[in-house]
């Protein structure tokens, strides 16, 4: 793989820890955040060394704004086509299905699903277009993927891209008021699953990580108001942002590319119980 990774929605605690892991292994990293004013604040929060700071770009990209999506994509590509993408983006809408205005729900799904599809369309096409050039091959539209010989003598497609989506156990087991969130998470999982099915022969693979309760961000706020939720987890605690970031980091690696077009659950055993 090349040395450019992208964390979409990387301003969250999980995204920040993932950025550190990628920078520590020598990657150049592009992080997108939801608003321009968050750029200097995030850079200050990360407190990176000069060498790491030189390899980090932080860009605004707002799912709810088409112009912001287009501009964000253009600026991401200015750093070179990323071959590792972690998607932590998600707009916010909580409310009962019967109590939420349809126009509000439509705008939410336009951002969470349609805008995400546009981003994935652009990124995967760029990965496919850049791959022959990266491998030093003349053709840009070859139907047969380049292959590498493995240690046991077999062959496997060269890696053109790896995309990992941060989902939630709410996709299959939502709390009241999470219906829109659950539907959007499930739809995004379906997009990533289909990309893995369709593009794995050409070297692009995907994985989805369903995280349970995380002691950060909105998860921490929920647990503060509902501490009894931890009693439903066999592990008897929430996940940490560092744990989730480390798992995403491994799923982005070459070693994990055999885990393709599938969802992994990381929830301390929450969904294993009645």
Specify the CATH number for the domain of residue 62. 3.40.50.720
Identify the band that residue 131 occupies on the pLDDT scale cut at 50, 70 and 90: confident
Taking the CA atoms of the chain, what radius of gyration do you get in angstroms? 19
Token look-up 């997009």 returns: 191
Q: Facing residues of 32 across strands?
A: 59
Q: How many residues would you count in the chain?
A: 274
Identify whether 153 is part of a domain: no
Nearest Cα residue to 161 out of 209, 192, 206: 206
Residue 94: CB atoms within 10 Å: 13
Average the pLDDT over 257-261 and give the result.
97
Average the pLDDT over 212-217 and give the result.
96
Average pLDDT, the chain: 91
Residue 187: CB atoms within 10 Å: 16
Residue 148 above 90 pLDDT? no
Which pLDDT belongs to residue 101? 97
Average the pLDDT over 13-35 and give the result.
96
Which pLDDT belongs to residue 158? 67
Identify the band that residue 132 occupies on the pLDDT scale cut at 50, 70 and 90: low
Average the pLDDT over 223-235 and give the result.
95
Phi, psi of 183 (to 5 degrees): -65, -40
Identify whether 144 is part of a domain: no
Residue 15 above 70 pLDDT? yes
Identify whether 149 is part of a domain: no
Residue 60: CB atoms within 10 Å: 18
Contact between residue 197 and residue 153 where contact means Cβ atoms under 8 Å apart? no
Residue 100: CB atoms within 10 Å: 16
Residue 216 above 50 pLDDT? yes
Q: Identify the domain containing residue 165 by its residue range.
A: 4-134+159-272
Which pLDDT belongs to residue 194? 98
Which pLDDT belongs to residue 172? 95
Average the pLDDT over 19-35 and give the result.
96
Average the pLDDT over 194-218 and give the result.
97
Number of domains in the chain: 1
Average the pLDDT over 64-93 and give the result.
96
> For a pLDDT cut of 90, what percent of the chain falls above it?
86
Average the pLDDT over 144-165 and give the result.
66
Q: What burial class does residue 3 get, using C-beta atoms within 10 Å of its C-beta: 0-12 exposed, 13-18 middle, 19+ buried?
A: middle
Identify whether 36 is part of a domain: yes
Identify the band that residue 1 occupies on the pLDDT scale cut at 50, 70 and 90: very low
Identify whether 126 is part of a domain: yes
Token look-up 């929920």 returns: 222
Identify whether 142 is part of a domain: no
Identify whether 18 is part of a domain: yes
Residue 78 above 70 pLDDT? yes
Identify the band that residue 142 occupies on the pLDDT scale cut at 50, 70 and 90: very low
Nearest Cα residue to 20 out of 34, 1, 7: 7
Which pLDDT belongs to residue 156? 57
Q: What burial class does residue 111 get, using C-beta atoms within 10 Å of its C-beta: 0-12 exposed, 13-18 middle, 19+ buried?
A: buried
Identify the band that residue 219 occupies on the pLDDT scale cut at 50, 70 and 90: very high
In tens, the pLDDT along 30-54 reads: 999 999 999 999 999 999 999 899 9
Rounded to an integer, what distance in angstroms lies between the CA atom of residue 238 and that of residue 267? 8
Which pLDDT belongs to residue 119? 98
Residue 22 above 80 pLDDT? yes
Identify whether 143 is part of a domain: no
Identify the band that residue 274 occupies on the pLDDT scale cut at 50, 70 and 90: confident
Average the pLDDT over 200-211 and give the result.
97
């Amino acid at each position: 793989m090349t040395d450019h990774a992208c964390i979409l929605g990387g301003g969250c605690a999980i995204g920040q820890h993932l950025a550190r892991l990628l920078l520590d292994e020598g990657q150049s990293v592009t992080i997108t955040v939801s608003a321009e004013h968050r750029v200097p604040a995030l850079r200050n929060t990360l407190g990176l060394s000069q060498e790491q700071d030189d390899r980090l770009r932080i860009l605004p990209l707002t799912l709810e704004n088409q112009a912001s999506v287009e501009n964000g994509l253009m600026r991401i590509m200015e750093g070179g086509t990323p071959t590792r993408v972690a998607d932590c983006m998600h707009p916010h809408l909580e409310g009962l299905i019967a109590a939420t205005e349809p126009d509000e729900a439509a705008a939410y799904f336009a951002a969470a699903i349609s805008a995400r599809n546009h981003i994935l369309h652009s990124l995967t096409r760029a990965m496919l277009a850049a791959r022959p050039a990266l491998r030093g091959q003349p053709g840009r539209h070859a139907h047969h993927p380049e292959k590498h010989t493995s240690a046991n003598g077999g062959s496997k497609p060269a890696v053109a891209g790896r995309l990992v989506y941060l989902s939630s156990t709410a996709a299959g087991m939502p709390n009241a008021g999470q219906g829109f969130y659950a539907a959007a998470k499930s739809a995004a999982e379906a997009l990533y699953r289909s990309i893995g099915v369709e593009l794995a022969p050409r070297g692009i693979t995907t994985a989805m990580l369903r995280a349970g309760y995380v002691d950060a961000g909105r998860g921490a706020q929920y647990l503060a108001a509902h501490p009894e939720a931890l009693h439903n987890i066999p592990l008897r605690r929430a996940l940490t942002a560092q744990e989730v970031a480390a798992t995403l980091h491994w799923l982005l690696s070459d070693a994990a590319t055999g885990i393709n077009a599938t969802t992994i659950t990381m929830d301390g055993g929450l969904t294993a119980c009645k």
